[in-house]
Amino acid sequence: MSKIAKIIDGKTVHVFDKSQFNWHEIRNCGQIFRDPPCEVTEDSDKIVLKAKKDKDSDWLWHYFDLETDYSEIKNELAQFDALGEAIKPGGGIRILNQPFKECVISFIISANNNIKRFSKTIAQIDFTNPEKHTEIDFNKMGCGYRAPYLVSAIKMLSTMNFKILSELDNNMLRKELIKLSGVGPKVADCIMLFAFHRLDVCPIDVHIHRALKQLGAQNADAIINHKYAGVAQQYIFYYVQHLKGQLK
DNA sequence: GGCCAGGCGCGGA
DNA sequence: TCCGCGCATGGC
């Protein structure tokens, strides 16, 4: 039984360890770009999550990965001197279990785009029924040249089985995901981390490379290949955004 | 006003 | 298999 949180009733979850749950940090570490799928309110001694309409507390439990103790992950990553400082500002980060389709669609749109712009696009998408959006719809939402990729990928998604994909190892899974149009190595890694919870997968881009160098990581390879490399990546991403002062 | 954005698809070598 | 290029469009 988790010491972090407790299911109170069918719609409510209480998170008692406030040091490892912070929606602002979860929202701004680069894994998700929209409002939470539940009410999040803070009490003096706990955080209260209340599920919306079609969701329930079991769903929230899985979505927020409340079984996992992130203090242990933080301790493990803190062995790297270069990460010591980077972990501090985003201590409340958790890696979500995002719905597969939503994750694929979101990260296709993120490619060669900026966060502010594509967040606005993502806010307009109906993720419960993405099949209903046409190429013209996606164009109106500002998807640009990615509109046909999205239509094609969404169609292909309906032939894919999340459970079967879940059983593949990292290399095989990446290979399958790249078959989706608009999905290359970088977007595939994001999907693996944020929808398949492959915490060892570390989406690498120039920012992360630069940040590791800036943090003085002589052992960047050891970090990138660590079993929690993906989580480390999220602390680094948040840390950089935090320093840039670009967080709302 | 020009460069950039959490890259990717495509054609040619 | 590996380059180099073009790409919609708003933010800055």
For residue range A10-38, list pLDDT tens digits in order.
Answer: 999 999 999 999 999 999 999 999 999 99
Compute how many other C-beta atoms are within 10 angstroms of the C-beta atom of residue A102: 19
Give me the CA A85–C1' B12 separation in Å, rounded: 47
pTM exceeds cut of 0.85? yes
Residues 25-44 of A with CB within 7 A of strand B:
29-31
Give me the CA A238–C1' C12 separation in Å, rounded: 21
Q: Strand B: which nucleotides have any atom within 7 A of a protein Cβ?
A: 4-9
Question: Is the pLDDT assigned to residue A246 strictly greater than 80?
Answer: no
pLDDT at residue number A7: 98
Are A49 and A60 in contact by the 8 Å Cβ rule? The answer is yes
For residue range A111-127, list pLDDT tens digits in order.
Answer: 999 999 999 999 999 99
For residue range A116-171, list pLDDT tens digits in order.
Answer: 999 999 999 999 999 999 999 999 999 999 999 999 999 999 999 999 999 999 99
Per-chain mean pLDDT for chain A: 94
CA A54 to CA A223: how far, in whole Å? 39
Mean pLDDT confidence for A58-79: 97
Q: Strand C: which nucleotides have any atom within 7 A of a protein Cβ?
A: 7-12
